[in-house]
C-alpha cells in the first residue's frame, strides 16, 4: 500500500530544482524547502498537486546543528500518504513565512510553534503566545531551555537514588518550588500584561442594519460549566450576535512534550493516556504505531486484534460521552449524561480488567499489548457488542434524534462548509459532517483496518445536528468492526519479542497517525539513536478543530457558541498538552 | 430509662414526648446537617474531573451523601474539589474562586496532581500541589482516583466537619478572614507573599556573581602577573 502511495508523491525537486531538495538524512523523508520560497511551493502543492489539507505543523530544535526545522505534513483530502515539507532556519534569527493565508488551519499551530520553540512566522495575523502567557520567559521546547525543576537532560535521573537516598528536587530550588526568575527581576514593580492585546485582535463589525450599536466583549471561562474544562472563549457581541470570537487556551498546559523529551520512549506511554483522558486507548495506539515505525517492528496478530477491539470500544465510549455532553450544553442537564455514563462504566469495567486502570490504561507496548484478556472478559465484550450497546445506541437515537428542541437548536446552526472544513484542517467527525468522507482508517490505513468491512460515515450539512448524527452512526460502525474483530480474534502471543523497559530506537523521524474518536491524532517523533526521543510532538485533533470555532460561531447567537463547542467535542488535556 | 443509660439526657421527659424528642448539642445537629449537604463547586480541571462526573452519575451517585447539588457559582459552594493539574496560568483563577467562596469552605485535593504535582510535577507550568496556595482539608491519592476513592475522600471530609465546634470555628470569630493574595503571571508565577524571598534571592545571586567576578579577576591577575613578568624579562 505505502509503495503505491509513495509513487504518487509529486516530484517537487524537478519542479523547483533551485528551492527544493530531498531530505537525504538516514531515517528521514520528505523535501527541504528554502524558507523564502515556501509560499510558492505550498501554493503549487495546494493548487496543482491537490495537497489541500495541511494536517500538522511542528518544529524541531537541532541544537548541535544550530538550526530550527519546521516540519509540515500535508495530505490530499481524497486520501493517501503524507507529503512532508521541512524548512530550516537559524536559532538566533528564526524567520519562516506563515502559511495562514494559504491554509487557515495553520493559525493556532503556528502560534504554538512560536510560543514553544520561538520560530517567528512572518505574515501571521496574530502571533501571540498560546499555551504559556504573554511575558513568559523563553521558549520552553528549545533544547537549551531548562525548567526550574531541571535535574538532567534525560531520564533515568541518577539523582533520584544516590546510594539509596531519594532526594527531593524542591530542596535544590531556592523557592522550594518550580520557580525561576531572570537575574535582577523586580517582582514588586512588575505589572502583568492585561488582555488588551488579545481584545485588540477581535475584528469589530459595522453594526446591524445601519444602526449604530455598541459592541461588548464577553469572556466565557476558564471556569465555566459549559467549556468542558479550563477553556476560555472571548467573544465580541453585538446584542446577542457573535461578531468575532477568539479561543484562549493553555490553562491546562502540562508540558507533555518537554517531559516527553526527557522520558525514555516507553515512559511516554502512560503520559499519552493523559492527553485525551477520555480515550486513553486510542492515544496509546498512535504512539505505539509511531515508535514501531521507527523500530521497524510489527505487533503480533493477536495483539493487532486486541488493539483494534480496545480502540473501537474507546470510540463508542467517546461518542456516547460526546452526545451526552452536547445534550448538557443544550440544557438537558445531566439526564442524558447519566444514560451514557451507565454504558461508559461497563466499557471501563473491561478496560480495568485488561489494564488495571479505568481511565489511564497504559495498555499498549511496542510490538503488542501489556496483558492478555483475563478469563471471562471476552464474553463480557461480546455481551456488550452484540447485545447491550446496539440497543443503547438505538435508545439514544430514539430519545434524542427526533426531539424538537434538539432539532431546533442544532439544525442549520454552526455550519462549516466542506471547503472551510478542509482549509481549517479540521478532522474526525467535524470534517466528515461537512461532507468530506475522510477517515484515516480508510484513507491511509494503519494496523489491520484494511481487513474490516465498515462504512465511512459522511453527512453534508456541516451543522451541529450532522455532527451529532455522525457520532451515533460511527458508534454503530465501530460495533460492526468490533463484531468482526471478535469473530476473527486469533490465539497466540500478545507481544513480539521480550518485554523491554528501554528500547534503543534507530535514528530517524516518524509520523504516525490514527483516526482517534475526535479526529486525526498524530505523533511526530524524532530519535537520535538514544534511549530518549529527541522530539516528541502530538498533533492533537481537538486543538486543531478549535481553529474552526470562530468560523462556525460568527453571526450566530452567543447561546449557540456553547452548543457549537459541544459539537466539536474537545478535551482540554489534549488541547493544551 | 435508668440513670445508668448513657444516652439518657438526665432530664424528666414527660411520657407523651418520650420517643418523640431527641436532645443533642447544637454542634452535633449543626454539623450533622451541614456535613450531609455539602455542595461542591462545579469546576473541573483535568482528567480527575471526568471521574468526578462519574461519581455524580448513577453507579456511584454521591447524592446519597447529600452532595448532588453542584454549583457553578463559588458563592453557593461549600467545597472546592480541585480535580486535576493546577497550572501556573490557572492558579490565579483558582485562588480567586476560593476567595469568592463563602465560609465555611473546604478544599479537597483530588488526585496526584492537585496533591503534589503528580506525573507533571517537573513541568515548567505546573504548580506542584494546590496546597502551595490554598489550605487543603483532604488529599485523595490516585491518578485519577477512582470514584470510590473520591467518595471516601468526601466521607472523610464529612467526618472532619462533624468534629468541628461553633465555639472554635474560625469563621465565627469577630475578625474576618483575609483573602489569599492572588498570584501574578510574570516571567514565572509570582506569589505576592514571596516578594521578600525573591528580593533576597536576587541579592544573593548578585552577591555570588560579584564574588565570582572578583575571584575571576583575582585569578586572572594572579595568572597574568607571572606571564607579564616573564615578558618583561
Res. A111 pLDDT band, cuts 50 70 90: very high
pTM for the full predicted model: 0.88
Q: What is the DSSP string of B56-88?
A: HSTTT-GGGGT----BSSGGG-SEEEEESPPBT
Nearest chain B residue to A325 by CA distance is B53
Eight-class DSSP state of B41: B
CB contact under 8 A, B187 and A137: yes
- How far apart are the CA of A258 and the nearest CA of chain B, in angstroms? 8
Contact B46 A253 (CB under 8 A): no
Average of per-residue pLDDT across A329-349? 89
A314, A279 contact by CB (below 8 A) = yes
- Kind and range of the H or E run holding A302: helix A301-330
CA distance A47 to A278: 38
Interval A303-317 mean pLDDT: 93
Chain A residue nearest residue B83, CA to CA: A229
C-alpha to C-alpha distances, A573 to A224, A228, A272, A541, B112, nearest whole angstrom:
16, 11, 10, 11, 15
Reply yes or no on whether the pLDDT at A209 is more than 90: no
So what's the pLDDT on residue B176? 76
pLDDT(B8) > 80: no
For the cut 80, the answer to whether the pLDDT of residue A524 exceeds it is yes
CA A478 to chain centre: 20
Q: Which residue from B99, B131, B100 is spatially nearest to B114, judged by alpha carbons?
A: B131
Distance CA B48, CA B50 (A): 5
Q: What is the separation of C-alpha A314 from the centre of its chain, rounded to a whole number of angstroms?
A: 16
Phi, psi of A470 (to 5 degrees): -60, -40
Question: How long, in residues, is chain B?
Answer: 233
Task: Give the residue from A350, A354, A355 showing the smallest Cα distance to A269.
Answer: A355
Q: Give contacts of A345 with chain B, Cβ < 8 Å.
A: 54, 57, 59
Q: Are residues A182 and B187, on separate chains, in Cβ contact within 8 Å? A: yes
Residues forming a β-bridge with A199: none
CB A336 within 8 A of CB A513: no
Pairing type for strands B184-185 and B189-190 reads antiparallel
Q: Interior CA angle at A513 toward A509 and A517, to 5°?
A: 155
Count Cβ neighbours within 10 Å for each residue of A502-519 and write b for 16 or more, e otherwise.
Answer: ebebeebbbbbbbbbbbb
Minimal Cβ distance to B124: which of A170, A258, A341: A258
CA neighbor of A574 nearest in space, from A344, A338, A312, A282: A282
Hey, CA dihedral for B151, B156, B157, B162, is it positive or negative? positive
Sign of the CA dihedral running A135, A137, A139, A141: negative
Q: How far apart are alpha carbons A43 and A99 in whole angstroms?
A: 9
Quote the pLDDT of residue B228: 45
Mean pLDDT of A447-472: 92
Average pLDDT, chain A: 88
DSSP letter for each residue of A508-564: EEEEEEEEETTEEEEEEEEE-SSSSEEEEEEE-HHHHHGGGHHHHHTTSBHHHHHHH
Q: Where in chain A is the domain with CATH 3.30.460.80?
A: 3-122
Span A256-269, average pLDDT: 91
Whether residue A259 and residue B188 make contact (CB cut-off 8 A), yes or no, is: no
Q: What is the pLDDT of residues B128-156, one digit of tens each?
A: 999 999 999 999 999 899 999 999 999 99
For chain A, percent of residues with pLDDT exceeding 70: 97
Decide if A183 touches B, using CB distance below 8 A: yes
CB contact under 8 A, A181 and B186: yes
Output the CA–CA distances (angstroms, integers) from residue A273 to A192, A251, A357, A361, B75, in the order listed: 34, 19, 11, 7, 34
Neighbours of A555 (CB within 10 A): 12
Largest CA distance in chain B: 121
Option in A179, A188, A225 nearest B42 (CB):
A225
User: How far is A303 from chain B, CA to nearest CA, in Å?
Assistant: 26
Q: What is the pLDDT of residue A4?
A: 41
- pLDDT at position A208 is 63
CB contact under 8 A, A270 and B45: no
- pLDDT, tens only, B45-86: 888 999 998 998 889 988 888 887 888 888 999 999 999 899
How confident is residue B216, by pLDDT bands cut at 50, 70 and 90?
confident
Q: Taking 60 as the threshold, does the pLDDT of residue A1 lie above it?
A: no
Distance, CA of A44 to CA of A33 (rounded, Å): 13
CB burial class (10 A; 0-12, 13-18, 19+) of residue B152?
Answer: middle
Match domain A256-576 to its CATH number in 3.50.50.60, 1.10.645.10, 3.10.20.30, 3.40.640.10: 1.10.645.10
User: What is the enclosing helix (H) or strand (E) of B189?
Assistant: strand B189-190
Q: Cell match 438505538: residue?
A: A394
Decide if A129 touches B, using CB distance below 8 A. Answer: no
Beta strands (DSSP E) in A38-127 are 53-62, 67-75, 83-90, 95-97, 120-122
**How confident is the model at residue B231, as a pLDDT?**
44
Mean pLDDT score of chain B: 85
Report d(CA B69, CA A415) in Å as an integer.
35
Nearest to A281 by CA among A354, A388, A341, A373: A354
State which H helix or E strand residue A365 sits in.
strand A364-365
Nearest to A239 by CA among A212, A202, A200: A212
Across A157-181, average pLDDT: 79
Range B158-175 average pLDDT? 86
DSSP helix, strand, coil percent of chain B (3-state; round to 5): 50, 10, 40
Judge whether A159 is closer than 8 Å to chain B, CB to CB: no
Chain A residues with CB-CB distance to B42 below 8 A: 225
Give residue B5's pLDDT band: very low, low, confident or very high (50, 70, 90): low
Measured CA angle at A385 (ends A382, A386), to 5 deg: 80
Task: Give me the pLDDT at residue A2, please.
Answer: 42
CATH level 2 (architecture), domain A3-122: 2-Layer Sandwich (3.30)
Write down the pLDDT at residue B229: 44
Q: Is A223 on the interface with B (CB under 8 A)?
A: yes
pLDDT tens-digit series, residues A378-433: 999 999 999 999 999 999 999 999 999 999 999 989 899 999 999 999 999 999 99
Is the ipTM higher than 0.90? The answer is no
Which of A177, A184, A344 to mutate: most B Cβ within 10 Å?
A: A177
- For position B117, what pLDDT does the model report? 87
Confidence of residue A538 (pLDDT cuts 50, 70, 90): very high
* pLDDT tens digits for range A286-295: 999 999 999 8
Domain(s) of CATH 1.10.645.10: residues in chain A: 256-576
Amino acid at each position: 500500500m505505502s509503495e503505491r502511495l509513495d509513487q504518487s508523491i509529486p516530484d517537487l525537486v524537478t519542479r523547483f530544482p533551485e528551492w527544493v531538495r530531498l531530505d537525504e538524512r538516514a531515517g528521514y523523508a520528505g523535501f527541504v524547502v528554502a524558507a523564502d520560497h515556501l509560499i510558492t511551493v505550498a501554493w503549487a502543492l495546494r493548487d496543482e498537486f491537490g495537497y489541500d489539507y495541511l494536517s500538522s505543523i511542528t518544529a524541531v530544535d537541532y541544537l548541535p546543528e544550530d538550526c530550527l526545522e519546521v516540519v509540515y505534513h500535508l495530505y490530499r483530502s481524497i486520501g493517501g500518504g503524507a507529503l512532508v515539507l521541512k524548512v530550516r532556519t537559524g536559532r538566533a534569527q528564526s524567520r519562516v513565512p506563515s502559511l495562514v493565508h494559504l491554509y487557515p488551519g495553520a493559525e493556532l499551530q503556528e502560534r504554538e510553534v512560536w510560543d514553544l520553540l520561538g520560530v517567528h512566522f512572518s505574515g501571521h495575523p496574530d502571533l501571540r503566545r498560546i499555551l504559556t502567557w504573554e511575558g513568559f520567559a523563553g521558549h520552553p521546547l528549545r533544547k537549551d531551555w531548562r525548567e526550574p525543576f531541571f535535574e538532567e537532560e534525560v531520564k533515568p535521573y541518577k539523582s533520584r537514588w544516590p546510594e539509596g537516598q531519594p532526594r527531593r528536587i524542591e530542596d535544590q530550588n531556592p523557592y522550594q518550588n518550580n520557580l525561576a526568575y531572570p537575574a535582577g527581576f523586580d517582582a514588586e514593580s512588575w505589572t502583568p500584561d492585561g488582555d488588551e492585546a488579545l481584545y485588540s485582535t477581535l475584528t469589530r463589525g459595522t453594526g446591524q442594519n445601519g444602526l449604530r450599536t455598541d459592541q461588548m466583549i464577553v469572556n466565557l471561562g476558564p471556569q465555566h460549566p459549559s467549556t468542558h474544562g479550563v477553556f476560555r472563549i472571548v467573544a465580541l457581541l453585538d446584542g446577542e450576535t457573535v461578531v468575532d470570537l477568539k479561543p484562549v487556551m493553555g490553562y491546562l498546559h502540562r508540558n507533555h512534550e518537554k517531559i516527553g523529551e526527557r522520558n525514555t520512549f516507553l515512559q511516554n506511554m502512560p503520559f499519552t493516556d493523559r492527553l485525551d483522558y477520555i480515550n486513553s486507548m486510542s492515544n496509546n495506539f498512535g504512539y505505539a504505531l509511531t515508535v514501531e515505525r521507527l523500530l521497524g517492528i510489527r505487533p503480533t496478530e493477536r495483539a493487532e486484534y486486541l488493539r483494534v477491539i480496545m480502540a473501537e470500544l474507546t470510540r463508542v465510549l467517546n461518542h456516547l460521552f460526546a452526545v451526552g455532553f452536547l445534550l448538557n450544553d443544550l440544557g438537558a442537564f445531566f439526564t442524558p449524561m447519566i444514560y451514557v455514563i451507565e454504558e461508559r462504566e461497563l466499557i471501563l469495567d473491561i478496560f480495568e480488567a485488561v489494564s488495571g486502570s479505568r481511565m489511564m490504561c497504559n495498555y499498549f507496548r511496542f510490538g503488542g499489548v501489556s496483558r492478555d484478556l483475563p478469563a471471562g472478559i471476552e464474553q463480557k465484550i461480546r455481551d456488550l457488542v452484540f447485545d447491550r450497546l446496539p440497543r443503547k445506541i438505538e435508545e439514544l437515537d430514539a430519545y434524542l434524534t427526533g426531539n424538537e428542541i434538539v432539532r431546533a437548536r442544532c439544525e442549520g446552526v454552526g455550519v462549516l462548509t466542506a471547503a472551510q472544513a478542509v482549509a481549517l484542517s479540521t478532522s474526525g467527525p467535524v470534517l466528515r459532517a461537512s461532507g468530506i468522507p475522510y477517515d484515516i482508517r480508510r484513507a491511509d490505513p494503519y494496523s489491520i483496518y484494511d481487513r474490516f468491512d465498515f462504512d465511512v460515515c459522511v453527512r453534508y450539512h456541516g451543522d451541529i445536528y450532522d455532527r451529532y448524527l455522525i457520532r451515533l452512526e460511527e458508534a454503530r460502525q465501530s460495533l460492526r468492526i468490533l463484531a468482526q474483530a471478535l469473530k476473527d480474534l486469533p490465539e497466540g502471543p500478545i507481544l513480539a519479542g521480550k518485554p523491554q523497559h528501554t528500547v534503543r530506537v534507530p535514528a530517524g523521524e516518524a509520523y504516525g497517525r490514527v483516526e482517534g474518536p475526535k479526529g486525526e491524532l498524530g505523533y511526530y517523533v524524532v530519535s537520535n539513536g538514544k534511549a530518549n526521543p529527541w522530539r516528541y510532538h502530538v498533533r492533537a485533533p481537538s486543538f486543531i478543530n478549535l481553529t474552526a470555532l470562530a468560523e462556525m460561531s460568527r453571526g450566530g447567537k452567543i447561546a449557540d457558541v456553547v452548543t457549537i463547542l459541544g459539537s466539536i467535542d474537545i478535551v482540554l488535556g489534549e488541547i493544551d498538552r | 430509662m435508668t440513670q445508668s443509660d448513657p444516652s439518657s439526657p438526665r432530664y424528666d421527659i414527660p411520657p407523651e414526648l418520650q420517643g418523640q424528642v431527641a436532645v443533642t448539642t447544637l454542634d452535633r445537629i449543626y454539623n450533622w446537617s451541614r456535613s450531609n449537604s455539602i455542595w461542591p463547586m462545579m469546576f473541573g480541571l483535568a482528567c480527575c474531573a471526568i471521574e468526578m462526573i462519574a461519581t455524580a452519575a448513577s453507579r456511584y451517585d454521591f447524592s446519597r451523601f447529600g452532595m448532588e447539588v453542584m454549583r457553578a457559582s463559588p458563592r453557593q459552594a461549600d467545597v472546592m474539589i480541585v480535580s486535576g493539574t493546577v497550572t501556573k496560568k490557572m492558579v490565579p483563577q483558582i485562588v480567586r474562586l476560593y476567595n469568592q467562596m463563602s465560609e465555611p469552605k473546604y478544599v479537597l485535593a483530588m488526585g496526584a496532581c492537585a496533591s503534589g504535582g503528580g506525573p507533571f510535577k517537573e513541568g515548567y507550568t505546573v504548580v506542584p500541589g494546590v496546597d502551595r496556595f490554598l489550605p487543603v482539608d483532604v488529599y485523595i491519592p490516585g491518578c485519577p482516583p477512582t470514584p470510590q476513592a473520591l467518595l471516601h475522600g468526601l466521607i472523610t471530609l464529612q467526618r472532619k466537619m462533624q468534629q468541628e465546634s461553633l465555639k472554635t470555628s474560625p469563621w465565627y470569630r469577630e475578625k474576618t478572614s483575609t483573602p489569599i493574595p492572588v498570584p501574578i503571571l510574570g516571567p514565572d508565577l509570582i506569589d505576592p507573599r514571596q516578594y521578600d524571598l525573591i528580593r533576597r534571592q536576587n541579592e544573593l545571586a548578585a552577591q555570588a556573581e560579584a564574588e565570582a567576578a572578583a575571584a575571576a579577576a583575582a585569578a586572572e591577575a594572579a595568572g597574568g602577573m607571572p606571564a607579564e613578568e616573564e615578558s618583561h624579562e
